[in-house]
Amino acid sequence: MKTDCRVCGGKVREFVDLGRQPTANGFLTPEEAEREFFFRLAVGVCERCAMVQLIEEVPQELRYHGAYRYHASGSAGHRQHFEQNALRFLETELTGPDPFVVEIGCNDGVMLSAIAEAGVRHLGVEPSTNVAELARAKGVNVLTRFFDEGTAADVRAEHGSADVVFGANTICHISHIDSVLRGVDELLSPGGVFVFEEPYLGTIVERTAFDQIYDEHVFYFSVTSVRAMAERFGFELVNAERIPLHGGEIRYTLARAGARVPAPAVGALLADENARRLSEPETLERFRRTVEGVKDELLTVLREVRAEGRSVVGYGAPGKATTVTNYFGIGTDLVPFVVDSTPSKQGLLVPGSHLPVRAPHAFSDPYPDYALLFAWNHAEEIMAKEQEFQDAGGRWILYAPEVRVI
């Protein structure tokens, strides 16, 4: 299927199809399972601007609503990261007489609450009402709306221009990204910066992290594609920093063209992407073949241990688990249930594959023979916490970057 690039209108060439998939965070009750929404999860690359993006998309109203289940403050590591972000903005960007910062998709206020505590003017723009309420409870000002050029014009009319526009794991979610960039152009002060942190295509390809591909991630940014997008809308990519969040992301800083001197890291990362031929069709085709190999190998392992009468439990139910279980066809015959510490997911079913989600105590009652680790980006932290499982003879099954039983 052909699609037009959402950034430049060029032709998008499909390179991987992960099959029929539901919305990744649409955890549901058994009754809701009968009228579940599915779409074809396939990804392509723009032949003109190199932006990697979904072929089909899910309407945003189905993704962000009153019951959005991802809470950014969920992990201590994330909280610390966003507090540091806030401090860095306060020290380097928000130093004028009456600075103003806008966060697109402020989630539960994990970053802006530190800005609010410092008494700096701020506004979170967050369409999911439930997480917006959590942010308000932390003293954060929130506008419950999708961010686009119309929202940006209204925010500017009411509050004036922004010194910083920030987004974390948000910008790659927004299919009308052209309107977002025009909105930032409308809102940003002449010397301001647009900073966003998003999953990195380079990491996804390098680590075979295909489970980063799901409905909410409309775009898979590279330094090459973000630089082209910035230039198209009158901005310049002035910094690109690798950060360890969510298994490997990049923090991009855009300024108005010519306003700042680009950091050397931009050129270094561009050179690295060129050397790896990151956005080239043959590299992306190789990624697809690697993913198919992981699928065959993991299913073989799971079928063998189940045939031996061994028990298997899924560990963690992030949105990623939806992609993996649906693409691989992992049902309750192979993995009877999953444990997750998020209370709002417990008692519900993983979208599409309908594996039941249970509270963490079900993991040790009794320990299974094997645990399939869906939350692999927290592998070290989890394995250390669950040392007793391994002491009791339990073994972990990992599938990224390759299938391993340890």
Binding site for Zn ion (CB under 5 A): 5, 7-8, 10, 46, 48-49, 51
Which residues lie closer than 8 Å to 134 by C-beta, 6 or more apart?
71, 73, 108, 109
Decide whether 4 or 333 has the Cβ nearer to Zn ion: 4
Decide whether 48 or 159 has the Cβ nearer to Zn ion: 48
Cβ atoms of 118 and 137 within 8 Å: the answer is: no
Cβ atoms of 149 and 184 within 8 Å: the answer is: no
Closest residue by Cα to residue 252 from 329, 325, 170 = 170
Minimum Å gap between C-beta 63 and Zn ion is 22
Minimum Å gap between C-beta 5 and Zn ion is 3
Helix (H, G, I), strand (E, B) or coil at 122: strand
Decide whether 51 or 371 has the Cβ nearer to Zn ion: 51
Distance of alpha carbon 13 from alpha carbon 20, whole angstroms:
19
Helix (H, G, I), strand (E, B) or coil at 294: helix
Minimum Å gap between C-beta 229 and Zn ion is 8
Minimum Å gap between C-beta 88 and Zn ion is 31
Decide whether 10 or 150 has the Cβ nearer to Zn ion: 10
Distance of alpha carbon 275 from alpha carbon 252, whole angstroms:
20
Minimum Å gap between C-beta 222 and Zn ion is 12
Q: Give Cα 347 to chain centroid, integer Å.
A: 24
Minimum Å gap between C-beta 175 and Zn ion is 13
The two structure tokens encoding residue 31: 């009754």
Distance of alpha carbon 262 from alpha carbon 152, whole angstroms:
26
- Length of the chain, in residues: 406
Minimum Å gap between C-beta 271 and Zn ion is 22
Cβ atoms of 363 and 389 within 8 Å: the answer is: yes
Where would I find the H helices in 110-171?
Answer: 112-117, 129-137, 149-159
Cα three-residue angle 242-218-345, rounded to 5 degrees: 90
Decide whether 65 or 232 has the Cβ nearer to Zn ion: 232
Decide whether 5 or 205 has the Cβ nearer to Zn ion: 5
Helix (H, G, I), strand (E, B) or coil at 262: coil
Decide whether 279 or 353 has the Cβ nearer to Zn ion: 279
Decide whether 223 or 372 has the Cβ nearer to Zn ion: 223
What residue type is 285 in one-letter code?
E
The two structure tokens encoding residue 156: 């500017």
Classify 254 in phi/psi space as left (phi over 0), alpha (psi -120 to 50) or beta.
Answer: beta
Minimum Å gap between C-beta 227 and Zn ion is 12
Distance of alpha carbon 182 from alpha carbon 104, whole angstroms:
14
Decide whether 23 or 53 has the Cβ nearer to Zn ion: 53
Q: Quote the DSSP letter at residue 35.
A: G
Cβ atoms of 338 and 356 within 8 Å: the answer is: yes
Minimum Å gap between C-beta 174 and Zn ion is 15
Q: Which residue has the tokens 């003017």?
A: 121
Decide whether 44 or 368 has the Cβ nearer to Zn ion: 44
